[in-house]
Homo-oligomer: A and B are copies of this chain.
Amino acid sequence: MLNFEFKNPTKILFGKGQIEKVASEIPANAKVLMLYGGGSIKKNGVYEQVKNALKNFEVVEFGGIPANPEYEILMDALKIIKSENITYMLAVGGGSVIDGTKFLSAAALYKGDSPWDILKNAIKTEVGLPFGTVLTLPATGSEMNSGSVITRRETQEKLGMGGPGLFPQFSILDPEVVKSIPQRQLANGITDAFTHVLEQYMTYPTGASLQDRFAESIMQTLIEVAPVVTNDPANYDAAANFMWCCTMALNGLIQKGVPGDWAVHAMGHELTAQFGIDHARTLAVIAPSHYRYNFESKREKLAQYGKRVWGIREGDTDAIAKAAIYKTEAFFKSLGIDTKLSDYTADFEGTAQKIAKRFTERGWLGLGEHKRLSPADVEKIVEMSY
C-alpha cells in the first residue's frame, strides 16, 4: 500500500426531503449567488424547493452554465460576484454547475492578472469563496471533492484545477431528483462513475486489499442498479445507490494508497473539446482501447476485476483479463453508450495525431500510472478507438 494523506471535510446531507436544510447550512446574513444550468431545475421542482428554503437570504441568480462549463460564461458570473459583493455560492445542478462554481470560488479570491492562469498554470487553491451544492445529476462526484474541469471554447481546451480550498462546505443529495433525469444523462452518469473507479483501480497491484474491494463494491453496485435506474428512475433505492456510488467513486477514498491512471480522462477530454461529445461517452470510447493497448501492465488487475466484478471463472489470467474488457464494453453498450469514435463523428481522421501533438506541446510526455505513456502511445490508443 502506498503512503497517503486523506481529508474530506464536505458535509453530506443525503435522502428524501433534505433540500429544505440548505438554509441551515449557509451562514446567516450571507449574500448568496445561486448558480444553475440550462433550467431543468425549473421543470423538476428543485428550483422552487431551493428558492423556498432560501427565502430569508438575499439571493442573486446566475443560470445558463452549460455542460462542460465554459470559461467565457463563468467570467460573467465572476463580474456579478464582485459587483454584488457575494459572500457565498450555492451550486444547484450537476458536475458542470459545481465545477463552474469551484472555478468561481478560486477566481473570486485570486490575486493574479487573469483567472485563466489558475487553469493554465495548475495553481492550487488553498482558500476559496465558500460554497455548497444541491446535486441534481449524479455522475462526476464533484459534490464531494475539490477538483474541477473547465472548458475554453475559443481554444478548444479542457483543463483541470483544484486544491484543498475547493471542497464544497456541504452537498445535498436527494435521490428523488433522479426520477426526472433524461435517459441519456442517466447512462452518462453511470458510465462516468464506473470509469472514475476504473481510473483508480485498473493499474497494478499494490497490496491495497481494502481499497481494491471498495472500488469493486462501487462497480458491482453500479452494475446491479444500472438496469433498474435506467428502466425505472423512480425506484428510490436504486437511485440512492446510484447517487452514492457516483459520490464515493471520486471523493478521494478509493484513490488513497493506490496508483492512479487517469490517461483515459486526459484523452477523453480532448474528444469533448474537439467534437463536443458527452464527457462520459468519450471515456467509454477510450477506455477499452486503453486497456487493450496497455494489456501487459494491467493484466493482473484486469483479471482480478474480471473475477470479482464480473464473476468470470473460466480461462487463464489472460483470458479472464480479455473477457473483462469485453464485459466492460458490453456494459457501456447496454446503457446505450457507443464505444467507438466513429459512432459519434464521421470526421475522426487525424484526431489521434492532433491529440498527440497537443499533449507534446503541453509537455504531457508520460501519462498513466507508470508515467510512461508517450504522445506516440496516445496516438495509437486514440487510433484504436476510431
Q: Which residues of A come within 8 Å of B, CB atoms?
A: 1-18, 175, 206-211, 213-214, 216-218, 220-221, 224-225, 236-237, 240-241, 244-245, 248, 253, 256-257
Question: How many copies are assembled?
Answer: 2
Given contacts A210-B241, A221-B210, is CB(A14)–CB(B9) below 8 Å? no
Pick the contact of A213 from B5, B175, B220 — CB < 8 Å? B220
Q: How far is the CA of A11 from the CA of B5 in the complex (A)?
A: 7
Q: Could you jot down 17 A-B contacts, CB within 8 Å? A: A1-B236, A1-B240, A1-B241, A1-B244, A3-B17, A4-B15, A5-B13, A7-B12, A9-B9, A14-B257, A207-B237, A210-B217, A210-B218, A210-B241, A210-B244, A211-B244, A213-B221
In the complex, A159→B217 CA distance in Å?
Answer: 35
**Are A7 and B4 in contact, CB atoms less than 8 angstroms apart?**
no
Q: How far is the CB of A17 from chain B (nearest CB, A)?
A: 8
Q: A225 — which chain B residues lie within 8 A by C-beta?
A: 209
Q: Please indicate the chain B residues that have their CB under 8 angstroms from the CB of A5 in the complex.
A: 11-14
Nearest Cβ in chain B — how far from A217, in angstroms?
Answer: 3
The listed residue with most B CB atoms (<10 A of its CB), out of A15, A213, A218, A225, is A213
Contact of A3 among B4, B10, B15, B214 (CB under 8 A): B15
Q: Which B residue sits closest to A175, measured CB to CB?
A: B1
> Can you name the residue of chain B whose Cβ is closest to the Cβ of A248?
B210
A-B contacts besides A206-B237, A209-B221, A240-B257, 10 pairs, CB < 8 Å: A1-B236, A1-B244, A3-B16, A7-B12, A207-B236, A209-B224, A210-B244, A213-B216, A213-B221, A216-B217
Our pick among B2, B15, B210 for the contact of A15 (Cβ within 8 Å) is B2
Task: Point out the residues of chain B lying under 8 angstroms from A17, CB to CB.
Answer: 3
* Contact yes or no, B221 A217, CB < 8 A: no
- Beyond A9-B7, A214-B217, whether A208 also contacts B241 by CB under 8 A is yes
Measured CB to CB, the closest approach of chain B to A199, in angstroms, equals 19
A217 to B220, CA, bound (A): 12
Residue of B with least CB distance to A21: B5
Q: Is the CB of B257 within 8 A of A1?
A: no
- Contact of B14 with A256 in the complex, beta carbons under 8 Å: yes
In the bound complex, CA of A84 to CA of B217 (Å)? 49
How far is the CB of A237 from the nearest CB of chain B, in Å? 3
